[in-house]
A and B are shown apart, each in its own frame.
Chain A
Amino acid sequence: MSALAVATGTRRGPSVPQRTARVLGRWTLPVFTAVAVGYLLLPIAVMIVFSFNDPPGKFNFVWAEFSLAAWANPIGRPGLALALQTSLTIAFVSTIAATALGTLIALALTRYRFRGHGATNLFIFIPMATPEIVLGASLLTLFVATAQEPFKSFIPAGVFFPLGWNTILIAHIMFNISYVVVTVRARIQGFDRHLEEAAMDLGANEWVTFWKVTFPLILPGILAAALLAFSLSIDDFIITNFASGLTNTFPVWIWGTIRNNMPPQVNVIGTIIFGTAVGLVLLSTLLQRRGSARA
C-alpha cells in the first residue's frame, strides 16, 4: 500500500531507501551483537563438544566419535590430579593474602590524605601495566639470583630456589595485589561518608564505626576483589610458567602435555571449571534477587 504510494509519489511518506536505512538501522546493531557474542562463545562450545570426543590418536584436535570415556575418568592422566590440587591451593592461599594486603592499601588510599598518595596510586598501577612476561621473567631472575652469592649466604635454600610451590604463590600474590586495590577502591569511593559521620555523632568510636558501618558496606567490594583474584590466579599461565620450575599447576600441565599429546580430559576439566563458575554466578544472582525482593 505504502509502497504503491511511494511508487506513484502521490503521498508524502518515507521513501524506499529511507525505509531500508531505517530497518537496517534498527537491526544492524542487534544482529552484530548476536554475532559477536556467538564469536565469544564459540571456543567454549568447542571445548564442551570435544570433551565427548574419542580421538583416534594422541591429539584431541579432530572430531572422531562420541564417547563418555574422558568423563568417566576425568583425572585419569599422570600428574593431572596433582596439578589441579596445586592450582586450587595456590589460588586459595594467594587470594586470601592478596585480598588482605590489597584491601589495606585501598583503605589507606581512600580514607586518608598523606604524603606520597599520588605516587602510591601510580605504584599500584604500574604492575598492571607491565606485560605478564616481564613480571614473570624478572621474578625468575630474582629467584635464580638467590641461589648465588651474595644472597646465598643469608637466604636458606628451598625458599626461592629451587622454584616450586613457594615461588608460584609469591608471584600470584604479587600480581593480584594491584587488582584487589583497584576493585576495593572503586567500591569505597562510591560510598556515602555521611553514614560514618552519623555513627560517630551517635557516639560510636572509630573502631566500632569501622566494623559496624564501614566494613559491612565495603564487604561486597572485598568479595568481588577476592573472586577476581581467585580467577586470575587459577587461570594464570604466563607468569606461573616462569615461577613454577618442576611444579605443575593446571595450565602449566596443559602446556607441558600439549607437545606430546592432548587428551580429552583437558576439555572435561575445562568444562567442569566453566560449569562451576557459571553455576556460582547464577546462584549469587538468584540469591541477590531473592534478597532484594524481600527487602
Chain B
Amino acid sequence: MGRLIKRYRWAIPYVLMAPGIAWLAVFFVVPNVRMLQMSLSEGSVERGFTFTWDVANYTDNVVRFGENFQNSVIFGGLATVFCFLVGYPLAYTIAFRGGRYKNLLLFLVISPFFTSFLIRTISWKIILGDDGPFLEIVRDILHLVPTNFSVLGSAVAVVAGLTYEFLPFMTLPLYVSLEKIDRSLIEAANDLYASRWGAFRRVTLPLSLPGVFAGSLLVFIPAIGDYVNAELLGGPKTQMVGNVIQARFLAQNDYPTAAALAFILMAAILVGILAYARLLGTEQLTGGRA
C-alpha cells in the first residue's frame, strides 16, 4: 500500500481535484460551449435550433440593443465609482481608526448579506417611492424638488440601488489591503517630512491598489450583468442588457439572441478587466499560489 502510494504520488493532486473539476467542466464549461453554439444558431424552441454560423445574431443585436448595452456599462461604471468613493473612506477608517470598534464595524458592513438581496432592493423601492420617506422629506418638507418629481423609474434609482447592493464587495477587499499595510512605512514617510496627504498619496494609496482592483471587479462584474435593480427600481428607459437577456431566455424563448447578448456582455467585461489591469499595473488576477 505504502509503496503503491509512493509510486503514484504524482497522481494524488489530480485525484483530489477530479470530482470538483469534473463538476465545473460539465456544468460550467459545457454549458458555455453550448451557449456559444446557440448564439450562432437560428430557429425557435418549437422548430428546434440549427447551427448555422449565424454571425448576424451578434452584429444585429449589438445595434438593436445598443441602448441597453450603453445603460449597463454606464450604470455599472457609475456604481463602481460611487462604491469606491464611499467604500474607500469607510474601509480606511475601519482599518486605521477602527480601534476596538473594528470588528463591530466590519460586522455592520456585511450585515446586509444577512438578509435577502431581493428584499433589500424592495426596501429601496419603499424608501424611494412616490409616497416613501425620501421624497416626503426632500419634496414635502424641504421643497427641494417639484411636487410631481419621482425617483423610481429613473436612472438615478437604478444606480443608487446598484451602489447600495455592491458596496460591501468594494469595502471588504479595500479593508483587507489597507489592514495589511505595514504602519512603519507610513511612519517612515512622516519622519521624512511627508505631509499626511503626501504620505497617503505616495504610500498608502499605492499599497492599497490590489484592494482597489479586486473591489472594482467585484462590483463592476455583477453590476453590469444585473437586472433586478433595473426591473424593480427602474423604468422602461433604464433597461439593462441583463433585462433583455432574461426576458429573451425566460419569456420569449428567443435563445439565439439571448445567447449572443450574453457573449457580447462577457467580451465587454473581459476587455474592461484587461484594460483596467493594465491601467493599475496589477497582475494578481488569480490570487493565491502554492
Q: Which residue of B lies closest to A125 (CB)?
A: B286
- The yes or no answer to B79 lying at the interface (CB within 8 A) is no
- The yes or no answer to B190 lying at the interface (CB within 8 A) is no
Counting chain A CB atoms within 10 Å of each CB, the highest count among B112, B118, B119, B288 belongs to B119
For B122, what are the chain A residues with a Cβ–Cβ distance below 8 Å?
47, 254, 258, 262, 266
Q: Which residue of A lies closest to B220 (CB)?
A: A131
- The number of chain A residues touching the other chain, given as a range, is 35 or more
For A120, what are the chain B residues with a Cβ–Cβ distance below 8 Å?
17, 21
Contact present for B116 and A111 (CB under 8 Å)? no
Q: Which residue of B lies closest to A207 (CB)?
A: B5
9-residue interface stretch from A31-39, A66-74, A214-222: A31-39
Contact present for A43 and B105 (CB under 8 Å)? no
Contact present for B114 and A177 (CB under 8 Å)? no
Main secondary structure, interface of B, reads: helix
Contact present for B19 and A125 (CB under 8 Å)? no
Q: Which residue of B lies closest to A180 (CB)?
A: B20
Contact present for B31 and A105 (CB under 8 Å)? no
Contact present for B225 and A235 (CB under 8 Å)? no
- The yes or no answer to B144 lying at the interface (CB within 8 A) is no
Bound: A251/B111 CA distance, A: 18
Contact present for B117 and A46 (CB under 8 Å)? no
Encoded as 1 (CB less than 8 Å from any B CB) or 0, chain A from 21 to 63 comes to 0000100011011001101111110110010000000000110
Contact present for B93 and A33 (CB under 8 Å)? yes
Rounded to whole Å, the gap between the CB of B241 and the closest CB of chain A is: 8
Q: Which residue of A lies closest to B92 (CB)?
A: A29
Contact present for A267 and B119 (CB under 8 Å)? yes
Total interface residues in chain B, CB < 8 Å: 85
9-residue interface stretch from A3-11, A139-147, A195-203: A139-147
Contact present for A141 and B20 (CB under 8 Å)? no
Counting chain B CB atoms within 10 Å of each CB, the highest count among A25, A123, A141, A238 belongs to A141
Q: Within residues 93 to 122 of chain A, which ones have a CB less than 8 A from any CB in chain B?
A: 101-102, 104-105, 107-114, 117-118, 120-122
- Interface residues in chain A, defined as those with a beta carbon under 8 Å from any beta carbon in chain B: 25, 29-30, 32-33, 36-37, 39-44, 46-47, 50, 61-62, 101-102, 104-105, 107-114, 117-118, 120-127, 129-135, 137-142, 144-145, 148, 170-171, 173-174, 177-178, 181-182, 185-186, 189, 206, 231, 235, 237-238, 241-242, 250-251, 254-255, 258, 262, 266-267, 270-271, 273-274, 277-278, 281, 285
Question: What are 20 sample pairs from A and B whose C-beta atoms fall under 8 A apart?
Answer: A29-B89, A32-B90, A104-B16, A112-B12, A114-B10, A120-B21, A125-B287, A131-B224, A133-B242, A133-B245, A138-B32, A141-B34, A148-B48, A171-B27, A173-B23, A174-B23, A181-B20, A238-B225, A238-B227, A271-B115
